[in-house]
Amino acid sequence: MVAVSKDAQASHPLAERAGVVQPFRVMELSKRAFAYEAQGHTVVHFQLGEPDFSTCEPVVAAGQAALAGGLTKYTNADGVQPLREAIANYYCTTLGQQVAPDNILVTAGASGALTLLMAALFDPGHELLMADPGYPCNSAFAHLVNAVPRLLPASSEHEYQLTGEQVQAAWTEHTRGVLLASPANPTGGMLSATALAGVCDAVHANNGVVLLDEIYSGLVFDERPDGYSCGWEVDRDAFLVNSFSKFFGMTGWRLGWVVTPDWAREPLERFAQNLFISPSTPAQYAAIEAFSPAAMAEHERRRDVFRERRDLLVGGLSQLGFDIPFVPGGGFFLYVDVSHTGMDAETFCWRLVDEYKVAVTPGTDFGVVGAAQHVRFAFTTSSEQIEVGLERIRTALSDWGIGAT
Ligand SMILES: Cc1ncc(COP(=O)(O)O)c(C=O)c1O
């Protein structure tokens, strides 16, 4: 992605937001990492935000059957009924939440769902509160409708999640809503049911909207006594965003969904009709199979693999002296403090990739507060590669004269 320069904006009819939306810093670093690989180096990739597993076989077969059977035309804008039923059933049986097929709109990934929500709920100038650090594209969704993303500093003490008090204190007459994610990117931080209820109460007291991104909720590893990502159990008025990308391993199929309260369903569907016509048809028929017992068994096996990798990486990095303030209960990221290296995050990441062929994402891609001293490790690579990566980092720290604290 190339940033639009001020000059280009001045001399070409580009929208102002074209200059505001930021490129990912990690793209340049990732490009360099793949270039090293092309030169014959082995590179350890901790920078990639998608599962290394490809889509599981039953789902691929269902997609192929859909294509072979001519299921290649538009569908309803909100998705095909059997898929909406399968998603609703997933909430009722697996997640323990009463969601009806009519409350579900199938979308082009969580990204499509967030686009629809911004279009239907936010006017120009409306503020959307979100946590810093957080998923960087969220600001772009707000900019698309000339809403204003407002990042509030989130602390490790609260697993980098916003609190109800913080939301209440930050609310202004321009604020329309809050965007939460649990587990979150880049931290894996989660909201307990109590913490979520606190934020929802603050939002509703101000007549606002709660958008809850649960894209990593299938990848929650540990039972927690205080509950986790429990969307509609806590707040029937929240908009739940989810996706086939992560737990279901279908990033490239571009399919997700939103669970909407009744009052917003019709406008969301109208925007879906106008903006997208329909979600990808073969992807929808493939996704129905993602809930089959065979596919679910594979997805759950993969979740166990992610848990093992998390434990390996947390153990290894802690031994090397990195500060990991909490062990994330879900997702596939670790947000790690690198201040003991004496380098800022970008210097650390570039030196690590250039000198030791280990690619990690600088925190500056995810926010402002504390970002320059944090990096994101994604454990979307095998345990063997994680071991190799840890060994290289050990060597790097030793060569750089940095001891474990
Ligand atoms: C927190 C979060 N939300 C949304 C998305 C978008 O996912 P997709 O559009 O592939 O469903 C991502 C992708 O990495 C993410 O990390």
Nearest CA to ligand 1 atom 16: 185
What tokens appear for 395 in the block? 């060597």
User: Is residue 230 predicted with pLDDT exceeding 80?
Assistant: no
Listed by start position, the domains of the chain span 6-54+296-399, 57-293
In this structure, the residues whose C-beta lies within 6 A of any atom of ligand 1 are: 49, 109-111, 135, 181, 185, 213, 215, 243, 245, 251, 256
- Tell me if 6-54+296-399 shares its fold with 57-293: no
Distance CA 162, CA 203 (A): 12
Return the higher-pLDDT residue of 222 and 68: 68
Distance 12 CA to ligand 1 centre (A): 31
Q: How many whole angstroms from its chain centre is CA 241?
A: 10
Distance 188 CA to ligand 1 centre (A): 13
Residue 199, classed as helix, strand or coil, is helix
pLDDT at 366: 96
Q: For residues 353, 355, 357 and 363, what is the CA-based torsion angle, rounded to 10 degrees?
A: -20
CA-wise closest residue to 80 among 251, 274, 288: 288
Distance 7 CA to ligand 1 centre (A): 32
Distance 22 CA to ligand 1 centre (A): 16
pLDDT at 405: 53
Domain 6-54+296-399 belongs in CATH node 1.25.10.10:
no
Nearest CA to ligand 1 atom 13: 49
- Quick: pLDDT tens for 131-182: 999 999 999 999 999 999 999 999 999 999 999 999 999 999 999 999 999 9
Which atom in ligand 1 lies closest to the alpha carbon of residue 184? 1
Flag whether the pTM goes above 0.85. Answer: yes
Choose the residue to mutate in 47, 118, 137 for probing ligand 1, maximizing ligand atoms within 8 Å of C-beta: 137
pLDDT band at 232 (very low <50, low <70, confident <90, very high): confident
- Quick: pLDDT tens for 145-159: 999 999 999 999 999
pLDDT band at 96 (very low <50, low <70, confident <90, very high): confident
- Quick: pLDDT tens for 36-68: 999 999 999 999 999 999 999 999 999 999 999
**Whether 209 contacts 114, CB under 8 Å:** no
Q: Is the peptide bond before 293 cis (omega within 30 degrees of 0)?
A: no
CATH number of the 57-293 domain: 3.40.640.10
Full DSSP string of 286-330:
HHHHTTSHHHHHHHHHHHHHHHHHHHHHHHHHHHTT-B-SS--SB
